[in-house]
């Protein structure tokens, strides 16, 4: 059955049919819903989920620039589908990371690089594509150079550190007519893809407003934005980009309309010196008297709960003593710091209100204070209401008053197991590999223009947070 026919059979292809102004009978007839209040219809689970297997014209070669967490994540696709992707080069300023990833993919000695500048030093193109997975302040230079040399680029978010640099990358991609896939991984997750199908079906009518919450689980916040690499907005990007560019992007992508204005606020509420309990030492490993009562303790988070271990180069050895030794090793000991004694400046809660073309409003909240992550989204439409938490969403149709649910557990879809961000990580690589192999930009979820547009929303939000004024886009 054709995909469109299939969606139609689930009542998913209504176009504008269910919107206000269309005869109600037409909208109602198009919906296949069970009768009776209170019943739960799970037919949204039948929305097709595309597997990770690619459809390629030929194998694509890629150089991984930055062999850290993300570089390793994306290169896993080459292990799963070697006929589609081959890692032919690796670059990292840490030689052990270059070696480890190179050995895994059998990379030739001459294609093992240190600094990314070594990749481009010959002035020749050495592979079909590069994946830029370096820290935020090292995206712009390698991306500009890669495009100039004719590479297609898988580019980690945030695209760059300033609005000007983002626009320069956009211009460079157009000038050299190259494919750039920005790693807005949520767009590729089955959950958000299904949500978008439902919105497009028209069952919600016109969308008047969206409420979107990004709870950054408390330990994740402590790890990444208090102790870790993204703790300072001046060294990376403001948290609205470093963390929440995914959320601004998903709002823009779900609504499929440009944002016209944004107003934002937020601050560093908790993770600062004045909140340190008396006698707390600079590092949790220095015998903190509060350890047993502190949920942010590095010893608890890393050695006991074993969360966020990707930064420690453990390669599978998760013995608590081994992790503790890493926390005391100067290369990793910044992760042992007391959360009240770091040099962090990122807000730990952030709100932004947006107005989109056509009058739809969206309000966004990011907060560090939550027991679990998983974006919560409420979409309030003229004909229906949708509420979801990234594992499940429910739609209430005002005509039928019967809830209809999507709750496919991505972990239960074998191919998606281990693909982070609700499965989006590897689905993004699949689409990128296909786009490069067929030289077809349309295989990506959007043009680079739209990806950059959602970054511009982030820069505008931060401007508003700082100057207290609504920003027009
Ligand atoms: N798309 C997402 O959902 C997502 C999630 C997490 C991180 N990120 C982004 O991905 C990027 C990488 O994050 P990460 O968690 O993998 O960080 P990481 O620190 O684990 O990895 C970055 C790697 O780049 C290397 N590096 C630094 N300078 C280099 C240079 N000049 N040349 C070559 N290599 C260099 C580092 O040594 C490190 O191994 C960041 O921009 C981050 O914001 C995106």
Residue 1 has a pLDDT of: 37
Atom number, ligand 1, closest to the C-alpha of residue 311: 20
Report the alpha-carbon distance of residue 462 to residue 347 in Å, rounded.
11
For a ligand 1 pocket test, name from 89, 120, 134 the mutation site with the most ligand atoms within 8 angstroms of its C-beta: 134
Nearest C-alpha to atom 43 of ligand 1 is from which residue? Answer: 136
Residue 332 has a pLDDT of: 96
The pLDDT confidence band at residue 32, using thresholds 50, 70 and 90, is very low
Residue 38 has a pLDDT of: 56
Atom number, ligand 1, closest to the C-alpha of residue 183: 1
The pLDDT confidence band at residue 422, using thresholds 50, 70 and 90, is confident
Ligand 1 contact, 69 CB (< 6 A): yes
The pLDDT confidence band at residue 8, using thresholds 50, 70 and 90, is very low
**Is-contact 419 246, C-beta < 8 A?**
no
Residue 396 has a pLDDT of: 94
- Closest by CA position to 213, among listed 28, 27, 372: 372
In the three-class reduction of DSSP (H, G, I as helix; E, B as strand; rest coil), residue 285 is classed as helix
Report the alpha-carbon distance of residue 39 to residue 26 in Å, rounded.
23
The pLDDT confidence band at residue 304, using thresholds 50, 70 and 90, is very high
Q: pLDDT tens digits, residue range 132-156?
A: 999 999 999 999 999 999 999 999 9
* 287 alpha carbon, distance to own chain's centre: 36
**120, 124, 129, 133 alpha-carbon torsion, rounded to 10°:** 0
Residue 242 has a pLDDT of: 95
Residue 7 has pLDDT above 70, yes or no: no
Q: pLDDT tens digits, residue range 305-357?
A: 999 999 999 988 999 999 999 999 999 999 999 999 999 999 999 999 999 99
For a ligand 1 pocket test, name from 65, 67, 70, 99 the mutation site with the most ligand atoms within 8 angstroms of its C-beta: 70
Ligand 1 contact, 65 CB (< 6 A): yes
Report the alpha-carbon distance of residue 411 to residue 106 in Å, rounded.
30
**Is-contact 362 373, C-beta < 8 A?**
no
Measure 336 CA to ligand 1 centroid, in angstroms: 20
Measure 72 CA to ligand 1 centroid, in angstroms: 10
Report the alpha-carbon distance of residue 153 to residue 166 in Å, rounded.
14
Atom number, ligand 1, closest to the C-alpha of residue 420: 3
Domain boundaries, the chain: 60-186, 274-336
Which tokens hold the place of 385?
């209401």
Mean pLDDT, the chain, rounded, equals 91
- Closest by CA position to 351, among listed 338, 364, 337: 364
Which tokens hold the place of 152?
């297609």
- Residue range 27-53: average pLDDT? 66
Q: pLDDT tens digits, residue range 200-225?
A: 999 999 999 999 999 999 999 999 99
Measure 465 CA to ligand 1 centroid, in angstroms: 27
pTM exceeds cut of 0.75: yes
Look up residue 470 and give its DSSP letter. Answer: -
End-to-end CA distance of the chain: 42
Tally of residues, the chain = 473
- Fold entry, domain 60-186: Rossmann fold (3.40.50)
Ligand 1 contact, 308 CB (< 6 A): no
Nearest C-alpha to atom 18 of ligand 1 is from which residue? Answer: 68
Report the alpha-carbon distance of residue 326 to residue 303 in Å, rounded.
10
Name residues whose C-beta falls within 8 Å of residue 222's C-beta, 6 or more positions apart in sequence. 271, 296, 301, 339, 368
Report the alpha-carbon distance of residue 244 to residue 470 in Å, rounded.
19
């Amino acid at each position: 059955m054709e995909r469109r026919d299939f969606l139609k059979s689930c009542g998913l292809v209504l176009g504008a049919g269910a919107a206000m102004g269309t005869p109600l009978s037409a909208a109602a007839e198009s919906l296949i819903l069970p009768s009776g209040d209170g019943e739960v219809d799970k037919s949204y689970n039948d929305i097709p989920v595309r597997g990770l297997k690619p459809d390629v014209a030929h194998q694509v070669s890629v150089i991984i620039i930055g062999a850290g967490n993300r570089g390793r994540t994306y290169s896993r696709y080459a292990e799963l589908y070697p006929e589609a992707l081959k890692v032919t080069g690796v670059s990292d300023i840490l030689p052990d990371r270059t070696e480890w990833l190179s050995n895994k993919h059998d990379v030739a000695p001459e294609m093992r690089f240190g600094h990314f500048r070594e990749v481009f030093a010959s002035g020749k193109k050495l592979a079909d594509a590069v994946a830029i997975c370096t820290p935020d302040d090292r995206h712009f230079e390698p991306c500009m150079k890669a495009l100039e040399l004719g590479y297609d680029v898988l580019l980690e978010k945030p695209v760059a550190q300033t609005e000007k640099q983002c626009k320069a990358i956009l211009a460079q991609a157009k000038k050299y007519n190259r494919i750039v896939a920005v790693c807005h991984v949520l767009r590729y997750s089955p959950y958000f893809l299904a949500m978008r199908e439902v919105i497009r079906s028209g069952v919600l009518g016109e969308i008047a407003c969206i409420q979107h919450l990004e709870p950054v689980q408390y330990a994740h916040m402590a790890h990444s934005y208090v102790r870790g690499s993204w703790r300072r907005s001046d060294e990376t990007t403001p948290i609205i980009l470093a963390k929440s560019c995914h959320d601004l992007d998903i709002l823009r992508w779900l609504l499929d309309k440009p944002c016209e204005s944004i107003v934002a606020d937020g601050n560093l509420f908790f993770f600062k010196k004045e909140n340190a309990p008396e006698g707390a030492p600079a590092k949790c490993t220095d015998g903190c008297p509060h350890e047993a009562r502190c949920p942010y303790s590095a010893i608890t988070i890393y050695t006991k709960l074993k969360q966020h271990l990707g930064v420690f180069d453990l390669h599978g050895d998760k013995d608590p003593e081994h992790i503790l030794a890493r926390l005391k090793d100067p290369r990793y000991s910044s992760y042992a710091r007391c959360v009240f004694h770091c040099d962090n400046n990122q807000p730990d809660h952030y709100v932004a209100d947006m107005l989109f073309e056509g009058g739809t409003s969206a309000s966004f909240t990011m907060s560090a204070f939550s027991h679990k992550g998983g974006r919560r989204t409420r979409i309030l439409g003229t004909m229906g209401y949708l509420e979801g938490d990234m594992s499940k969403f429910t739609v209430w149709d005002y005509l039928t008053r019967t809830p209809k649910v999507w709750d496919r557990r991505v972990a239960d879809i074998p191919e998606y197991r281990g693909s982070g961000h609700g499965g989006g990580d590897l689905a993004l690589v699949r689409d990128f590999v296909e786009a490069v192999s067929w030289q077809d930009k349309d295989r990506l979820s959007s043009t680079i223009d739209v990806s950059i547009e959602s970054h511009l929303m982030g820069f505008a939000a931060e401007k508003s947070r700082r100057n207290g004024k609504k920003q027009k886009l």
